[in-house]
Amino acid sequence: MTVPLIAVVIPVFNEEAVLPQLFTRLEALFAAQPGCRWEAVLVDDGSRDGSAGLIRAQAARDPRFRLVELSRNFGFQSALSAGLARTGEAAAAVTMDADLQDPPEVIPALVAAWRDGADIVRATRRTRSETGLRRAGFDLFHSLYGRLTDYPIEPNTGTFGLLGRAAIEAFNGLPERHRFFPGLRAWIGFQTADVPYDRQERAAGQPQQSFHRLARYAMDGLFSFSYLPLRLLTYCGLFVAGMGFAVGLFFAVRRILGVETAATGFTTLVTLVLFLGGVQLIGIGVLGEYLGRIYDEVKHRPQYIVKDAGKDRR
Ligand code: UDP
Ligand code: MG
Instruction: Report the number of distinct structural domains present in the chain.
Output: 2
Q: Where are the beta strands (DSSP E) in the chain?
A: 5-12, 37-44, 65-70, 92-95, 120-127, 157-164, 192-198, 306-308
One domain for residues 172 and 274:
no
Q: Where are the beta strands (DSSP E) in 145-246?
A: 157-164, 192-198
One domain for residues 21 and 163:
yes
Q: Are 14 and 49 a contacting pair, CB within 8 Å?
A: yes
Residue 166 lies in a domain: yes
Q: Which long-range contacts (CB under 8 A, 24 or more apart) does 21-27 make?
A: 21/100, 21/203, 21/204, 22/98, 22/100, 22/104, 22/203, 23/58, 23/65, 25/100, 25/103, 25/104, 25/105, 26/65, 26/104, 27/62
Angle at Cα 263 formed by Cα 258 and Cα 257, nearest 5°?
10
Question: Distance (Å, rounded) from C-alpha 24 to C-alpha 166?
Answer: 30
State the pLDDT at residue 221: 78
Mean pLDDT estimate for the chain: 86
One domain for residues 257 and 174:
no
Residue 314 lies in a domain: no
For ligand 1, which residues put their CB under 6 angstroms from it? 11-13, 15, 45, 73, 75-76, 79, 97-99, 101, 207-209
Residue 50 lies in a domain: yes
One domain for residues 116 and 240:
no
Q: Are 80 and 11 a contacting pair, CB within 8 Å?
A: yes
| Residue 118: count of CB within 10 angstroms of its CB | 20
Which residue segment(s) compose the domain that 211 sits in?
A: 5-226+302-308
CATH of the domain at 164: 3.90.550.10
State the pLDDT at residue 312: 54
One domain for residues 169 and 42:
yes
Give every CB contact of residue 78 below 8 A, 6+ residues apart in sequence.
45, 70, 179, 303, 304
104-116 pLDDT tens trace: 999 999 999 999 9
Question: Distance (Å, rounded) from C-alpha 90 to C-alpha 83?
Answer: 12
The radius of gyration of the chain's CA atoms, rounded to the nearest angstrom, is: 25
Torsion of CA 170, 171, 173, 175, to 10 degrees: 140
Protein residue with its CA nearest to atom 2 in ligand 1: 76
One domain for residues 193 and 268:
no
One domain for residues 22 and 164:
yes
One domain for residues 35 and 50:
yes
One domain for residues 18 and 110:
yes
Residue 313 lies in a domain: no
One domain for residues 254 and 151:
no
One domain for residues 164 and 253:
no
What is the whole-number distance in angstroms between the Cα of residue 99 and the centre of ligand 2?
A: 5
What is the whole-number distance in angstroms between the Cα of residue 13 and the centre of ligand 1?
A: 6
Residue 66 lies in a domain: yes
Q: If pLDDT is split at 50, 70 and 90, which confidence band does 42 have?
A: very high
Residue 82 lies in a domain: yes
What is the whole-number distance in angstroms between the Cα of residue 208 and the centre of ligand 1?
A: 5
Protein residue with its CA nearest to atom 16 in ligand 1: 97
Residue 27 lies in a domain: yes
State the pLDDT at residue 311: 59
What's the pTM?
0.78
Query: Would the pLDDT of 66 be above 70?
Result: yes
Q: If pLDDT is split at 50, 70 and 90, which confidence band does 85 have?
A: very high
Residue 243 lies in a domain: yes
One domain for residues 168 and 261:
no
